[in-house]
Chains A and B, each alone.
Chain A
């Protein structure tokens, strides 16, 4: 009886792992590695790669620039309605991507809330690279903000107070103590946001379309090539698997360090000794 239960546990575990890994392995096993590598030289793939890299780089830069100070404020200030604001910030995490797409359209589209104001300025966002950036930013930023707020909150308050008594004002304290001490957590948040941003599909295809060389990112290119050139779609898939795995690895390697850097010197002592 006990043996049967044991076998059942291992059976379920093996089934689960196989189910999750099989589609990923299939991408690499369906055609030869040489074919995969060759398809990476395909014009469509290269264009999509360029669009993805550019839009995500801009989105991450904006996210770090605006999101980091915002996260510091949310972590260090208590105000009425803070819990509500933090909960609303997480809403894009659970929102279906199609809703994100229609929402971006309703806000920034020609007939949207801000559409006429943007029109006056001669700016039209939908179906441009800027639209891709907005879509990526919208779905990725909750990942960064959540992690960054947690990273700032875990800084020992005495460290910030010590900086103040050492004649550093709030801005210097933020730059010289809070940022470096929280850096590992901020890096982890940025990696999560990047992973989500690179894979963004639903909101982008609705709000930015799928114009080759302009708004067609790697996930959109997979969809476009799906019935045109299946090998190219597979090659992009392989590329994205490798990029995602690399980000995951980065997170796993960096996080233990993140834990020791932000807490008291006593626990840091334990983790730095070999």
Chain B
């Protein structure tokens, strides 16, 4: 299975979507806010919307505006999983999967769909529908796999499990795969590289770890789940001090001058009832605005910061919504990014 390479522009009413990307046999996720043009990229690769530029996949040219090449969707070799799966409601699971190519008994078996082969899509659960959609897309052995928000249509409580399942299936599929998601966590689980798309442009492309370690800007940082605090930075001794609009000072080992943002991840923030006497340079006192359980952790909102702590710690501290707490984090865990004025 050859690589997928694209260099395309799609004209839209509000802004153009322009993207250059090359994929080996790997999964790349495009994340970004809704309306950023993520789905448009997938539809352009599939040939479902008109685009200009070049798309080659599996050693064949699908689109080359300069040479006047533009293959219809049925002439390209794409497997696409649509946002709400778009299963054919009048066909059984077997006929859905075999729509693109007959004789898929082995595939049905491998996807755990053999027992459901005669069921209609309307009788399936969300996770089952997703597997049917993926099996249907893979049946003709496409050169490229495209998935549009494959987890968005699922209930929150089944989502985590199905995400793991999908990760395995995508690894087995072993071909250039482009996934679109609005959720960084979903993207980071499924993909080896994540591209952040904002208003039709790629802001940053890298492994999930790279995006978390050095986000290109405040938007990428907040997308990856970081706390983003805006303020004014100046050098103070060996450190940089960022003065927040509230007058509080955030210290960081990074350098910045003028308008800047401090970026700190929720798992770097500790909570206490009174300012602790420890090595952390930054202490922000505030009212506990919310306590949300996430798995075995609690996500606590204190003043302008979100902290992730264990349920046990939360209980020991006696945290309650409306009470006061101090959020602490180290200057070495605080990234600074300069912000261009205006």
**Interface pair B74/A268, CB less than 8 Å apart:** no
Residues of B within 8 A of A181 (CB): 88-90
Stretch at the interface among B16-24, B53-61, B117-125, B268-276: B117-125
Given contacts A265-B122, A269-B123, A271-B122, contact A165 B90 (CB under 8 A): no
Contact A164 B74 (CB under 8 A): yes
Counting chain B residues whose Cβ lies within 8 A of the other chain, the interface size class is: 20 to 34
Q: Is the C-beta of A177 less than 8 angstroms from some C-beta in chain B?
A: yes
- For B43, what are the chain A residues with a Cβ–Cβ distance below 8 Å? 161
Contacts of A164 in B (CB 8 A): 46-48, 72-74
Main secondary structure of the interface of B (DSSP, over half): loop
Q: Given A165-B46, A165-B48, A166-B99, check contact A158 B86 (CB 8 Å).
A: yes
What separation, in Å, do the CA atoms of A156 and B83 have in the docked complex? 12
**Number of contacts between A and B (CB, 8 Å)?**
89
Q: How far is the CB of A261 from chain B (nearest CB, A)?
A: 6
| A residues in contact with B329, CB < 8 Å | none
Hey, which chain A residues are within 8 Å of B82, CB to CB? 158, 161-162
B31 within 8 A of partner (CB): no
Judged by a CB distance under 8 angstroms, whether B258 is at the interface is: no
Contact status A180-B90, CB under 8 Å: yes
In the complex, the answer to whether B121 meets A168 with C-beta atoms within 8 Å is no
- Given A161-B48, A161-B73: A166 in contact with B136 (beta carbons within 8 A): yes
Q: Which of A161, A167, A177, A266 contacts B100 (CB 8 A)?
A: A167
Residues 33-63 of B contacting A (Cβ, < 8 Å): 43, 46-48
A169 contacts partner chain B, Cβ-Cβ < 8 Å = yes
Q: Do the beta carbons of B73 and A269 come within 8 Å of each other?
A: no
State A164–B100 Cα separation when bound (angstroms). Answer: 9
1/0 contact trace for B79-121 toward A, CB 8 Å? Answer: 1101111111110000000011100000000000000000011
Q: Is A272 an interface residue (CB 8 A)?
A: yes
Task: Encode contact with B along A149-174: 1 for CB under 8 Å, 0 otherwise.
Answer: 00000001011011111111100000
Contacts of B87 in A (CB 8 A): 265
Chain B residues near A166 (CB-CB < 8 A): 74, 99-100, 136-137, 139-140
The docked-state distance in angstroms from the alpha carbon of A166 to that of B136 is: 8
Let me know if B72 and A169 touch, CB within 8 A: yes
| A168→B95 CA distance, assembly (Å) | 14
- Please, which residues of chain A bring their CB within 8 A of the CB of B84? 156, 158, 264-266
- B90 near A158: Cβ-Cβ < 8 Å: no
CA–CA, A161 to B72, complex, Å?
11
| Chain B positions within 8 Å of A272 at CB level | 120, 122-123
Give, as a whole number of angstroms, the nearest-CB distance from A60 to chain B: 23
Chain A residues near B123: list those with CB within 8 A: 269, 272-273
Q: Pick the contact of A162: B86, B139, B153 (CB < 8 A).
A: B86
From the candidates B88, B101, B121, B140, name the one contacting A177 in the complex (CB within 8 A).
B88
Is B129 at the interface (CB under 8 A from chain A)?
yes
- Of all chain A residues, which has the CB nearest B83? A158
Q: Which residues of chain B from 61 to 76 have any CB-CB distance to chain A below 8 Å in the complex?
A: 72-74, 76
Q: Which residues of A contact B153 (CB under 8 A)?
A: 266
B242 at the interface (CB under 8 A from A): no
Least distance between A72 CB and chain B CB atoms (Å): 16
Given contacts A162-B80, A166-B100, contact A156 B86 (CB under 8 A): yes
List 13 interface pairs A-B (beta carbons < 8 Å), by A numbering.
A159-B89, A162-B136, A164-B73, A165-B79, A166-B136, A167-B74, A167-B100, A169-B74, A181-B89, A265-B87, A269-B123, A272-B120, A273-B123
A-B pairs, top 10 by smallest CB distance, nearest first, are A166-B100, A158-B86, A268-B122, A164-B73, A272-B122, A162-B86, A165-B80, A180-B90, A158-B82, A265-B121
Taking Cβ atoms with an 8 Å cutoff, the residues of B that contact A are: 43, 46-48, 72-74, 76, 78-80, 82-90, 99-101, 120-124, 129, 136-137, 139-140, 153
Given A163-B88, A272-B120, 14 extra CB contacts under 8 A: A162-B80, A162-B82, A162-B88, A164-B73, A165-B76, A165-B137, A166-B140, A177-B88, A180-B90, A181-B90, A266-B84, A269-B124, A272-B122, A272-B123
